Structure 1
Protein backbone atom coordinates (compact mmCIF):
# COMPACT_ATOMS: atom_id res chain seq x y z
CA UNK A 1 0.00 0.00 0.00
CA UNK A 2 1.26 3.45 -0.90
CA UNK A 3 -0.36 6.77 0.00
CA UNK A 4 -0.35 9.28 -2.84
CA UNK A 5 -1.04 13.00 -2.44
CA UNK A 6 -1.67 14.64 -5.82
CA UNK A 7 -1.90 18.43 -5.91
CA UNK A 8 -4.40 20.03 -8.31
CA UNK A 9 -3.46 23.67 -7.78
CA UNK A 10 -4.00 26.86 -9.73
CA UNK A 11 -0.73 28.26 -11.08
CA UNK A 12 -0.05 32.00 -11.41
CA UNK A 13 1.83 33.10 -14.51
CA UNK A 14 5.57 33.65 -13.81
CA UNK A 15 4.98 34.37 -10.09
CA UNK A 16 7.37 31.98 -8.35
CA UNK A 17 6.93 33.42 -4.80
CA UNK A 18 3.14 33.08 -4.94
CA UNK A 19 3.23 29.59 -6.45
CA UNK A 20 5.90 28.49 -3.98
CA UNK A 21 3.82 29.73 -1.05
CA UNK A 22 0.82 27.76 -2.26
CA UNK A 23 2.92 24.65 -2.87
CA UNK A 24 4.41 24.87 0.61
CA UNK A 25 0.89 24.89 2.10
CA UNK A 26 0.21 21.63 0.29
CA UNK A 27 3.47 20.20 1.65
CA UNK A 28 2.20 20.87 5.19
CA UNK A 29 -1.16 19.29 4.39
CA UNK A 30 0.51 16.23 2.89
CA UNK A 31 2.72 15.93 5.95
CA UNK A 32 -0.37 15.91 8.15
CA UNK A 33 -1.83 13.17 5.94
CA UNK A 34 1.38 11.12 6.25
CA UNK A 35 1.72 10.82 2.49
CA UNK A 36 4.37 8.62 0.94
CA UNK A 37 4.52 10.58 -2.33
CA UNK A 38 3.53 14.21 -2.83
CA UNK A 39 3.14 15.05 -6.52
CA UNK A 40 2.90 18.54 -8.06
CA UNK A 41 1.84 19.52 -11.61
CA UNK A 42 4.12 20.44 -14.49
CA UNK A 43 5.77 23.92 -14.33
CA UNK A 44 4.02 24.52 -11.00
CA UNK A 45 6.47 27.20 -9.83
CA UNK A 46 7.14 29.36 -12.89
CA UNK A 47 4.20 28.63 -15.14
CA UNK A 48 4.46 29.00 -18.91
CA UNK A 49 7.74 30.45 -20.27
CA UNK A 50 8.14 30.98 -24.00
CA UNK A 51 10.96 33.52 -24.40
CA UNK A 52 14.68 33.46 -23.69
CA UNK A 53 14.58 36.51 -21.43
CA UNK A 54 12.07 34.95 -19.06
CA UNK A 55 13.89 31.62 -19.16
CA UNK A 56 17.15 33.25 -18.13
CA UNK A 57 15.32 35.03 -15.31
CA UNK A 58 13.17 32.18 -13.97
CA UNK A 59 14.88 28.90 -14.89
CA UNK A 60 17.23 27.30 -12.37
CA UNK A 61 19.91 24.58 -12.43
CA UNK A 62 19.35 21.23 -10.73
CA UNK A 63 20.31 21.10 -7.94
CA UNK A 64 19.60 24.74 -7.30
CA UNK A 65 17.35 27.21 -5.54
CA UNK A 66 14.04 25.53 -6.37
CA UNK A 67 15.15 22.00 -5.55
CA UNK A 68 16.77 23.23 -2.31
CA UNK A 69 13.32 24.30 -1.06
CA UNK A 70 11.77 20.90 -1.67
CA UNK A 71 14.64 18.71 -0.50
CA UNK A 72 14.26 20.53 2.82
CA UNK A 73 10.50 19.88 2.88
CA UNK A 74 10.91 16.21 1.97
CA UNK A 75 13.36 15.66 4.82
CA UNK A 76 11.29 17.66 7.31
CA UNK A 77 8.08 15.74 6.60
CA UNK A 78 9.61 12.38 5.73
CA UNK A 79 7.97 11.91 2.34
CA UNK A 80 8.95 11.59 -1.29
CA UNK A 81 8.23 14.61 -3.48
CA UNK A 82 7.79 14.62 -7.24
CA UNK A 83 8.53 18.24 -8.11
CA UNK A 84 6.05 18.37 -10.99
CA UNK A 85 8.47 20.00 -13.35
CA UNK A 86 10.58 23.15 -13.51
CA UNK A 87 12.49 24.87 -16.28
CA UNK A 88 16.02 23.56 -15.90
CA UNK A 89 18.94 25.79 -16.91
CA UNK A 90 22.06 24.00 -18.19
CA UNK A 91 25.13 24.99 -20.16
CA UNK A 92 23.56 23.32 -23.20
CA UNK A 93 20.17 25.04 -22.97
CA UNK A 94 16.87 24.67 -21.16
CA UNK A 95 14.80 21.58 -20.37
CA UNK A 96 11.38 20.86 -18.89
CA UNK A 97 12.49 18.66 -16.00
CA UNK A 98 10.86 16.76 -13.17
CA UNK A 99 12.82 15.98 -9.99
CA UNK A 100 12.23 13.06 -7.61
CA UNK A 101 13.28 13.63 -3.99
CA UNK A 102 13.28 10.85 -1.39
CA UNK A 103 12.00 11.00 2.19
CA UNK A 104 15.49 11.83 3.48
CA UNK A 105 15.73 14.95 1.32
CA UNK A 106 18.03 13.47 -1.32
CA UNK A 107 17.53 14.07 -5.05
CA UNK A 108 17.05 10.55 -6.41
CA UNK A 109 17.10 11.69 -10.02
CA UNK A 110 15.48 13.77 -12.72
CA UNK A 111 13.41 13.16 -15.83
CA UNK A 112 13.50 15.53 -18.80
CA UNK A 113 10.44 15.78 -21.02
CA UNK A 114 10.86 13.71 -24.18
CA UNK A 115 8.10 15.12 -26.37
CA UNK A 116 7.71 18.88 -26.23
CA UNK A 117 4.39 20.58 -26.88
CA UNK A 118 4.08 22.88 -29.90
CA UNK A 119 4.94 26.13 -28.15
CA UNK A 120 7.87 24.61 -26.21
CA UNK A 121 9.88 23.59 -29.26
CA UNK A 122 11.29 27.06 -29.94
CA UNK A 123 12.97 27.49 -26.56
CA UNK A 124 13.39 24.11 -24.85
CA UNK A 125 15.40 20.99 -25.64
CA UNK A 126 13.83 17.52 -25.72
CA UNK A 127 15.45 14.50 -24.09
CA UNK A 128 15.64 10.89 -25.21
CA UNK A 129 16.42 9.56 -21.73
CA UNK A 130 13.81 7.49 -19.89
CA UNK A 131 15.26 6.76 -16.46
CA UNK A 132 13.76 4.62 -13.71
CA UNK A 133 14.29 5.43 -10.04
CA UNK A 134 14.67 3.09 -7.08
CA UNK A 135 12.57 3.88 -3.99
CA UNK A 136 11.56 1.90 -0.92
CA UNK A 137 8.21 1.40 -2.67
CA UNK A 138 9.85 -0.13 -5.72
CA UNK A 139 10.94 1.29 -9.05
CA UNK A 140 9.11 4.39 -10.33
CA UNK A 141 9.19 6.50 -13.46
CA UNK A 142 7.94 9.85 -14.72
CA UNK A 143 6.24 11.15 -17.88
CA UNK A 144 5.55 14.86 -18.40
CA UNK A 145 2.27 15.89 -20.03
CA UNK A 146 2.54 15.39 -23.81
CA UNK A 147 4.77 12.35 -23.25
CA UNK A 148 1.55 10.47 -22.44
CA UNK A 149 0.50 10.71 -26.10
CA UNK A 150 3.47 8.52 -27.07
CA UNK A 151 3.05 5.05 -25.52
CA UNK A 152 6.67 4.04 -26.10
CA UNK A 153 7.83 6.44 -23.37
CA UNK A 154 5.82 4.77 -20.61
CA UNK A 155 6.45 1.34 -22.11
CA UNK A 156 10.24 1.78 -22.00
CA UNK A 157 9.98 2.82 -18.37
CA UNK A 158 7.74 -0.15 -17.54
CA UNK A 159 10.10 -2.60 -19.25
CA UNK A 160 12.86 -1.26 -17.00
CA UNK A 161 10.81 -2.43 -14.01
CA UNK A 162 8.87 0.65 -12.87
CA UNK A 163 5.57 -0.14 -11.15
CA UNK A 164 4.45 3.47 -10.58
CA UNK A 165 4.38 6.18 -13.24
CA UNK A 166 4.01 9.81 -12.14
CA UNK A 167 2.57 12.17 -14.71
CA UNK A 168 2.85 15.89 -13.92
CA UNK A 169 0.98 17.86 -16.57
CA UNK A 170 -0.13 21.32 -17.68
CA UNK A 171 -3.06 20.50 -19.99
CA UNK A 172 -5.69 23.05 -20.99
CA UNK A 173 -8.95 23.00 -22.91
CA UNK A 174 -7.30 25.21 -25.53
CA UNK A 175 -4.65 22.59 -26.34
CA UNK A 176 -7.12 21.18 -28.88
CA UNK A 177 -5.95 23.93 -31.26
CA UNK A 178 -2.33 22.76 -31.01
CA UNK A 179 -0.56 23.55 -34.25
CA UNK A 180 -3.76 23.87 -36.30
CA UNK A 181 -3.64 26.75 -38.77
CA UNK A 182 -6.40 25.87 -41.24
CA UNK A 183 -9.43 28.11 -40.59
CA UNK A 184 -11.85 25.28 -41.32
CA UNK A 185 -10.12 23.06 -38.76
CA UNK A 186 -10.15 25.81 -36.15
CA UNK A 187 -13.84 26.43 -36.72
CA UNK A 188 -14.75 22.77 -36.35
CA UNK A 189 -12.64 22.41 -33.22
CA UNK A 190 -14.48 25.29 -31.57
CA UNK A 191 -17.57 23.08 -31.40
CA UNK A 192 -16.00 20.18 -29.47
CA UNK A 193 -14.21 19.74 -26.12
CA UNK A 194 -11.87 16.75 -26.64
CA UNK A 195 -9.02 17.35 -24.19
CA UNK A 196 -10.47 16.00 -20.91
CA UNK A 197 -11.55 12.79 -22.63
CA UNK A 198 -8.17 12.56 -24.37
CA UNK A 199 -6.40 12.74 -21.02
CA UNK A 200 -8.73 10.26 -19.30
CA UNK A 201 -8.22 7.76 -22.11
CA UNK A 202 -4.42 8.09 -22.12
CA UNK A 203 -4.06 7.68 -18.36
CA UNK A 204 -6.17 4.54 -18.19
CA UNK A 205 -4.53 3.07 -21.30
CA UNK A 206 -1.01 3.56 -19.95
CA UNK A 207 -2.02 1.83 -16.71
CA UNK A 208 -3.51 -1.23 -18.44
CA UNK A 209 -0.96 -1.69 -21.20
CA UNK A 210 2.02 -1.44 -18.82
CA UNK A 211 0.56 -3.03 -15.66
CA UNK A 212 1.36 0.16 -13.74
CA UNK A 213 -0.13 2.53 -11.22
CA UNK A 214 -0.39 5.85 -13.09
CA UNK A 215 -0.61 9.10 -11.12
CA UNK A 216 -1.67 11.97 -13.39
CA UNK A 217 -1.52 15.49 -11.89
CA UNK A 218 -2.85 18.56 -13.70
CA UNK A 219 -3.51 22.15 -12.52
CA UNK A 220 -6.99 23.62 -12.40
CA UNK A 221 -8.42 27.05 -13.16
CA UNK A 222 -7.97 30.02 -15.44
CA UNK A 223 -4.41 30.85 -16.39
CA UNK A 224 -3.79 34.42 -17.53
CA UNK A 225 -1.01 34.80 -20.08
CA UNK A 226 -1.52 38.53 -20.43
CA UNK A 227 -2.86 38.73 -23.96
CA UNK A 228 -5.17 35.77 -23.56
CA UNK A 229 -6.46 33.25 -21.05
CA UNK A 230 -6.44 29.45 -21.04
CA UNK A 231 -8.46 27.03 -18.94
CA UNK A 232 -6.65 24.23 -17.10
CA UNK A 233 -9.20 21.48 -16.52
CA UNK A 234 -7.72 19.37 -13.74
CA UNK A 235 -8.74 15.69 -14.01
CA UNK A 236 -5.97 14.73 -11.60
CA UNK A 237 -6.41 10.97 -11.22
CA UNK A 238 -4.99 7.56 -10.38
CA UNK A 239 -5.42 4.51 -12.60
CA UNK A 240 -4.34 0.88 -12.53
CA UNK A 241 -5.17 -2.42 -14.21
CA UNK A 242 -8.53 -4.06 -13.42
CA UNK A 243 -10.01 -0.72 -12.34
CA UNK A 244 -8.91 1.93 -14.83
CA UNK A 245 -9.26 5.32 -13.17
CA UNK A 246 -10.31 4.65 -9.57
CA UNK A 247 -9.77 8.08 -7.96
CA UNK A 248 -10.22 11.46 -9.61
CA UNK A 249 -10.64 15.20 -9.08
CA UNK A 250 -12.69 17.41 -11.36
CA UNK A 251 -13.54 21.11 -11.02
CA UNK A 252 -11.66 22.54 -8.08
CA UNK A 253 -8.30 23.19 -6.51
CA UNK A 254 -7.23 20.78 -3.83
CA UNK A 255 -5.26 17.65 -3.03
CA UNK A 256 -6.32 14.13 -3.92
CA UNK A 257 -5.24 11.68 -1.18
CA UNK A 258 -5.41 8.01 -2.13
CA UNK A 259 -4.18 4.76 -0.60
CA UNK A 260 -3.27 2.60 -3.59
CA UNK A 261 -2.91 -1.17 -3.18
CA UNK A 262 0.04 -2.06 -5.39
CA UNK A 263 -0.63 -5.80 -4.96
CA UNK A 264 -3.06 -5.43 -7.86
CA UNK A 265 -0.10 -4.67 -10.12
CA UNK A 266 1.46 -8.06 -9.36
CA UNK A 267 -1.88 -9.71 -10.06
CA UNK A 268 -2.12 -7.88 -13.37
CA UNK A 269 1.28 -9.22 -14.35
CA UNK A 270 0.10 -12.73 -13.46
CA UNK A 271 -3.18 -12.41 -15.38
CA UNK A 272 -2.11 -10.45 -18.47
CA UNK A 273 1.67 -11.06 -18.57
CA UNK A 274 2.18 -8.00 -20.77
CA UNK A 275 5.60 -7.14 -19.35
CA UNK A 276 6.69 -10.78 -19.58
CA UNK A 277 5.60 -10.96 -23.19
CA UNK A 278 7.61 -7.85 -24.05
CA UNK A 279 10.67 -9.16 -22.24
CA UNK A 280 10.38 -12.58 -23.85
Structure 2
Protein backbone atom coordinates (compact mmCIF):
# COMPACT_ATOMS: atom_id res chain seq x y z
CA UNK A 1 0.00 0.00 0.00
CA UNK A 2 1.47 3.32 -1.11
CA UNK A 3 0.33 6.28 0.97
CA UNK A 4 0.75 9.98 0.14
CA UNK A 5 0.81 12.36 3.11
CA UNK A 6 0.04 15.97 2.24
CA UNK A 7 1.70 18.68 4.32
CA UNK A 8 0.02 21.89 3.21
CA UNK A 9 -0.50 25.49 4.22
CA UNK A 10 -4.10 26.67 4.61
CA UNK A 11 -4.95 29.71 2.50
CA UNK A 12 -7.55 32.32 3.46
CA UNK A 13 -9.87 31.33 0.61
CA UNK A 14 -11.91 28.13 0.85
CA UNK A 15 -11.90 27.80 -2.94
CA UNK A 16 -8.13 28.25 -3.04
CA UNK A 17 -7.74 25.41 -0.57
CA UNK A 18 -10.01 23.16 -2.65
CA UNK A 19 -7.92 23.94 -5.73
CA UNK A 20 -4.74 23.23 -3.80
CA UNK A 21 -6.16 19.88 -2.68
CA UNK A 22 -6.85 18.97 -6.32
CA UNK A 23 -3.23 19.80 -7.20
CA UNK A 24 -1.95 17.53 -4.45
CA UNK A 25 -4.18 14.71 -5.68
CA UNK A 26 -2.67 15.10 -9.15
CA UNK A 27 0.85 15.09 -7.71
CA UNK A 28 0.12 11.92 -5.73
CA UNK A 29 -1.34 10.09 -8.73
CA UNK A 30 -0.52 6.38 -8.56
CA UNK A 31 -0.63 6.16 -4.77
CA UNK A 32 -3.29 4.05 -3.09
CA UNK A 33 -4.29 6.53 -0.40
CA UNK A 34 -3.87 10.25 0.27
CA UNK A 35 -4.09 11.94 3.69
CA UNK A 36 -4.59 15.65 4.46
CA UNK A 37 -4.08 17.65 7.70
CA UNK A 38 -6.65 18.78 10.25
CA UNK A 39 -8.76 21.82 9.24
CA UNK A 40 -6.92 22.08 5.90
CA UNK A 41 -9.83 23.71 4.05
CA UNK A 42 -11.33 26.23 6.48
CA UNK A 43 -10.54 27.96 9.75
CA UNK A 44 -11.81 26.30 12.89
CA UNK A 45 -14.42 28.87 13.93
CA UNK A 46 -18.13 28.79 14.65
CA UNK A 47 -18.81 32.28 13.32
CA UNK A 48 -17.70 31.47 9.78
CA UNK A 49 -19.38 28.07 9.58
CA UNK A 50 -21.19 27.29 6.34
CA UNK A 51 -23.18 24.09 5.87
CA UNK A 52 -22.99 24.63 2.12
CA UNK A 53 -19.17 24.82 2.23
CA UNK A 54 -18.99 21.61 4.27
CA UNK A 55 -21.21 19.83 1.75
CA UNK A 56 -19.17 21.14 -1.18
CA UNK A 57 -15.94 20.05 0.53
CA UNK A 58 -17.13 16.48 0.95
CA UNK A 59 -18.52 16.28 -2.59
CA UNK A 60 -15.35 17.73 -4.14
CA UNK A 61 -13.08 15.48 -2.09
CA UNK A 62 -15.13 12.42 -3.02
CA UNK A 63 -14.95 13.32 -6.70
CA UNK A 64 -11.15 13.67 -6.48
CA UNK A 65 -10.88 10.23 -4.89
CA UNK A 66 -13.00 8.87 -7.73
CA UNK A 67 -11.06 10.73 -10.44
CA UNK A 68 -7.64 9.59 -9.24
CA UNK A 69 -8.85 6.16 -8.04
CA UNK A 70 -7.42 6.76 -4.63
CA UNK A 71 -8.65 6.29 -1.07
CA UNK A 72 -8.59 9.59 0.81
CA UNK A 73 -8.60 10.80 4.41
CA UNK A 74 -10.23 14.23 4.31
CA UNK A 75 -8.10 15.77 7.06
CA UNK A 76 -10.85 17.27 9.15
CA UNK A 77 -13.56 19.87 8.83
CA UNK A 78 -16.10 21.43 11.20
CA UNK A 79 -19.49 19.82 10.60
CA UNK A 80 -22.87 20.65 12.12
CA UNK A 81 -25.19 17.71 12.79
CA UNK A 82 -28.34 17.77 14.92
CA UNK A 83 -27.59 21.31 16.16
CA UNK A 84 -24.08 20.35 17.35
CA UNK A 85 -20.68 21.01 15.84
CA UNK A 86 -18.01 18.32 15.47
CA UNK A 87 -14.42 18.23 14.24
CA UNK A 88 -14.87 15.43 11.73
CA UNK A 89 -12.64 13.40 9.43
CA UNK A 90 -14.00 11.27 6.58
CA UNK A 91 -12.42 8.29 4.84
CA UNK A 92 -13.46 7.83 1.19
CA UNK A 93 -12.71 4.87 -1.07
CA UNK A 94 -11.39 5.05 -4.64
CA UNK A 95 -14.94 5.23 -5.99
CA UNK A 96 -15.76 8.30 -3.90
CA UNK A 97 -17.88 6.47 -1.34
CA UNK A 98 -17.65 7.58 2.29
CA UNK A 99 -16.55 4.46 4.17
CA UNK A 100 -16.77 6.07 7.58
CA UNK A 101 -16.15 9.15 9.69
CA UNK A 102 -14.58 10.02 13.01
CA UNK A 103 -15.43 12.87 15.38
CA UNK A 104 -12.44 14.14 17.38
CA UNK A 105 -12.71 13.07 21.02
CA UNK A 106 -9.97 15.05 22.77
CA UNK A 107 -10.50 18.72 21.96
CA UNK A 108 -8.07 21.60 22.42
CA UNK A 109 -8.96 24.62 24.53
CA UNK A 110 -10.47 26.80 21.80
CA UNK A 111 -12.52 23.96 20.35
CA UNK A 112 -14.14 23.15 23.68
CA UNK A 113 -16.08 26.42 23.50
CA UNK A 114 -18.18 25.24 20.55
CA UNK A 115 -17.19 21.76 19.35
CA UNK A 116 -18.86 18.66 20.81
CA UNK A 117 -16.38 15.84 21.52
CA UNK A 118 -16.86 12.54 19.73
CA UNK A 119 -17.97 9.55 21.76
CA UNK A 120 -16.31 6.56 20.11
CA UNK A 121 -13.35 5.51 18.00
CA UNK A 122 -13.84 4.72 14.32
CA UNK A 123 -12.45 1.46 12.95
CA UNK A 124 -13.23 1.43 9.23
CA UNK A 125 -13.12 -1.46 6.77
CA UNK A 126 -11.09 -0.77 3.61
CA UNK A 127 -9.62 -2.97 0.87
CA UNK A 128 -6.28 -2.55 2.65
CA UNK A 129 -7.68 -3.89 5.91
CA UNK A 130 -9.13 -2.19 8.98
CA UNK A 131 -8.13 1.45 9.42
CA UNK A 132 -8.60 3.92 12.24
CA UNK A 133 -8.63 7.70 12.35
CA UNK A 134 -7.70 10.00 15.21
CA UNK A 135 -7.18 13.75 15.14
CA UNK A 136 -4.34 15.88 16.54
CA UNK A 137 -4.74 16.08 20.33
CA UNK A 138 -5.98 12.47 20.43
CA UNK A 139 -2.29 11.65 20.01
CA UNK A 140 -1.75 12.55 23.67
CA UNK A 141 -4.05 9.74 24.82
CA UNK A 142 -2.75 6.21 24.08
CA UNK A 143 -6.14 4.62 24.75
CA UNK A 144 -7.48 5.92 21.42
CA UNK A 145 -4.89 4.01 19.39
CA UNK A 146 -5.05 0.99 21.68
CA UNK A 147 -8.83 0.77 21.25
CA UNK A 148 -8.40 0.90 17.47
CA UNK A 149 -5.75 -1.83 17.62
CA UNK A 150 -8.01 -4.01 19.77
CA UNK A 151 -10.67 -3.69 17.08
CA UNK A 152 -8.13 -4.91 14.52
CA UNK A 153 -6.84 -1.68 12.93
CA UNK A 154 -3.35 -1.98 11.44
CA UNK A 155 -3.46 1.46 9.80
CA UNK A 156 -4.05 4.58 11.88
CA UNK A 157 -4.37 7.96 10.17
CA UNK A 158 -3.79 11.09 12.23
CA UNK A 159 -4.55 14.47 10.64
CA UNK A 160 -3.12 17.24 12.82
CA UNK A 161 -2.60 20.99 13.06
CA UNK A 162 0.29 20.85 15.53
CA UNK A 163 2.23 24.06 16.11
CA UNK A 164 5.70 24.83 17.40
CA UNK A 165 4.21 28.20 18.40
CA UNK A 166 0.61 29.35 18.79
CA UNK A 167 -0.86 32.39 20.49
CA UNK A 168 -3.45 29.98 21.90
CA UNK A 169 -0.86 27.87 23.72
CA UNK A 170 -0.32 28.56 27.44
CA UNK A 171 2.79 30.49 28.45
CA UNK A 172 3.93 27.53 30.56
CA UNK A 173 4.27 25.57 27.30
CA UNK A 174 5.78 28.28 25.12
CA UNK A 175 8.56 29.14 27.60
CA UNK A 176 9.88 25.59 27.19
CA UNK A 177 10.99 26.34 23.64
CA UNK A 178 13.39 29.08 22.63
CA UNK A 179 14.11 30.17 19.06
CA UNK A 180 15.51 27.24 17.11
CA UNK A 181 14.36 24.63 19.63
CA UNK A 182 11.47 22.50 18.40
CA UNK A 183 8.99 20.53 20.50
CA UNK A 184 9.57 16.79 20.19
CA UNK A 185 6.39 15.34 21.66
CA UNK A 186 4.45 14.93 18.41
CA UNK A 187 7.06 12.68 16.82
CA UNK A 188 7.81 10.80 20.03
CA UNK A 189 4.12 10.07 20.57
CA UNK A 190 3.58 8.95 16.97
CA UNK A 191 6.45 6.48 17.33
CA UNK A 192 5.11 5.24 20.67
CA UNK A 193 1.62 4.69 19.25
CA UNK A 194 2.99 2.68 16.32
CA UNK A 195 5.13 0.48 18.55
CA UNK A 196 2.74 -0.10 21.45
CA UNK A 197 -0.26 -0.78 19.18
CA UNK A 198 1.60 -2.63 16.39
CA UNK A 199 0.23 -0.36 13.67
CA UNK A 200 1.35 1.94 10.87
CA UNK A 201 0.84 5.43 12.31
CA UNK A 202 0.39 7.90 9.46
CA UNK A 203 0.56 11.52 10.62
CA UNK A 204 -0.36 14.42 8.32
CA UNK A 205 0.49 17.80 9.84
CA UNK A 206 -0.08 21.28 8.43
CA UNK A 207 2.63 23.59 7.05
CA UNK A 208 3.50 27.28 7.11
CA UNK A 209 3.15 30.10 9.61
CA UNK A 210 1.09 33.19 10.39
CA UNK A 211 1.61 35.98 12.94
CA UNK A 212 -0.39 33.92 15.45
CA UNK A 213 1.02 30.45 14.84
CA UNK A 214 3.91 28.51 13.39
CA UNK A 215 3.04 25.01 12.23
CA UNK A 216 5.47 22.26 13.13
CA UNK A 217 5.12 20.27 9.88
CA UNK A 218 7.20 17.04 10.24
CA UNK A 219 4.51 14.78 8.75
CA UNK A 220 5.63 11.19 9.10
CA UNK A 221 5.08 7.45 8.97
CA UNK A 222 5.93 5.44 12.09
CA UNK A 223 6.08 1.65 12.27
CA UNK A 224 6.58 -1.07 14.88
CA UNK A 225 10.23 -1.98 15.61
CA UNK A 226 11.66 1.08 13.85
CA UNK A 227 9.65 4.12 14.92
CA UNK A 228 9.87 6.87 12.27
CA UNK A 229 10.56 5.36 8.84
CA UNK A 230 9.72 8.42 6.71
CA UNK A 231 9.40 12.12 7.52
CA UNK A 232 9.18 15.56 5.91
CA UNK A 233 11.76 17.12 8.22
CA UNK A 234 10.56 20.72 7.81
CA UNK A 235 7.37 22.80 7.99
CA UNK A 236 7.10 23.69 4.31
CA UNK A 237 4.53 22.32 1.88
CA UNK A 238 5.17 18.95 0.31
CA UNK A 239 4.08 15.34 -0.14
CA UNK A 240 5.57 12.38 1.67
CA UNK A 241 5.03 9.14 -0.27
CA UNK A 242 5.77 5.84 1.45
CA UNK A 243 5.06 2.15 0.90
CA UNK A 244 3.56 0.53 4.01
CA UNK A 245 5.13 -2.85 4.78
CA UNK A 246 2.11 -5.01 5.66
CA UNK A 247 4.27 -8.07 6.38
CA UNK A 248 6.05 -6.11 9.08
CA UNK A 249 2.71 -5.10 10.60
CA UNK A 250 1.48 -8.69 10.57
CA UNK A 251 4.60 -9.92 12.36
CA UNK A 252 4.75 -7.19 15.01
CA UNK A 253 2.05 -8.48 17.37
CA UNK A 254 3.62 -11.92 17.57
CA UNK A 255 7.13 -10.55 17.97
CA UNK A 256 6.01 -8.35 20.86
CA UNK A 257 3.88 -11.12 22.39
CA UNK A 258 0.74 -9.04 21.92
CA UNK A 259 -1.45 -11.40 19.93
CA UNK A 260 -5.13 -10.45 19.99
CA UNK A 261 -6.84 -11.88 23.06
CA UNK A 262 -3.63 -12.66 24.92
CA UNK A 263 -3.44 -9.47 26.95
CA UNK A 264 -6.21 -7.68 28.77
CA UNK A 265 -6.18 -4.03 29.69
CA UNK A 266 -4.25 -3.45 32.90
CA UNK A 267 -3.14 -7.11 33.17
CA UNK A 268 0.39 -8.19 32.29
CA UNK A 269 0.81 -11.33 30.23
CA UNK A 270 3.12 -14.07 31.49
1:233 corresponds to: 216
Map residues 110-125 of structure 1 onto 2, 5 A cutoff: 110-125=101-116
1:258 corresponds to: 242
2:230 corresponds to: 247
Q: 1:77 aligns with which of 68, 77, 82?
A: 68
1:278 corresponds to: 263
2:6 corresponds to: 7
* Secondary structure in structure 2 of the residue aligned to 1:75: helix
The number of residue pairs the alignment matches comes to 263
Change (3 A) 1:175 1:229: closer
* Secondary structure in structure 2 of the residue aligned to 1:174: strand
Q: For 1:107 and 1:121, locate their aligned partners in 2 and report how far apart those are by CA, in whole Å.
A: 27
Contact 1:210 1:275 survives alignment (8 Å): no
Contact 1:158 1:212 survives alignment (8 Å): yes
Structure with the larger helix share:
1
Contact 1:36 1:80 survives alignment (8 Å): yes
| Matching of residue 92 in structure 1 with residue 76 in structure 2 | no
Contact 2:51 2:79 survives alignment (8 Å): no
Change (3 A) 1:187 1:170: closer
Map residues 109-188 of structure 1 onto 2, 5 A cutoff: 109-175=100-166, 178-180=169-171, 185=172, 188=175
Structure 1's unaligned 5+ residue stretches are none
Cα deviation 1:176-206 (Å, max 9, x = unaligned): 97345xxxx3784354777641101010000
Give me the CA root mean square deviation. Answer: 2.1
Q: For 2:122 and 2:238, locate their aligned partners in 1 and report how far apart those are by CA, in whole Å.
A: 29
Change (3 A) 1:236 1:132: same
Q: For 2:174 and 2:197, locate their aligned partners in 1 and report how far apart those are by CA, in whole Å.
A: 37
Contact 1:177 1:186 survives alignment (8 Å): no
Shift of 1:94: 0.8
Q: For 1:109 and 1:57, locate their aligned partners in 2 and report how far apart those are by CA, in whole Å.
A: 19
Change (3 A) 1:186 1:205: closer
Contact 1:159 1:275 survives alignment (8 Å): no
Contact 2:205 2:216 survives alignment (8 Å): yes
Q: For 2:128 and 2:174, locate their aligned partners in 1 and report how far apart those are by CA, in whole Å.
A: 48
Cα deviation 1:136-182 (Å, max 9, x = unaligned): 110000010000000111111110000000000001112597345xx
In the superposition, the TM-score normalised over structure 2's length comes to 0.91
2:36 corresponds to: 40
Q: For 2:167 and 2:150, locate their aligned partners in 1 and report how far apart those are by CA, in whole Å.
A: 31
196-205 vs 268-277, greater mean Cα deviation = 268-277
2:48 corresponds to: 54
Contact 2:155 2:199 survives alignment (8 Å): yes
Shift of 1:27: 0.8
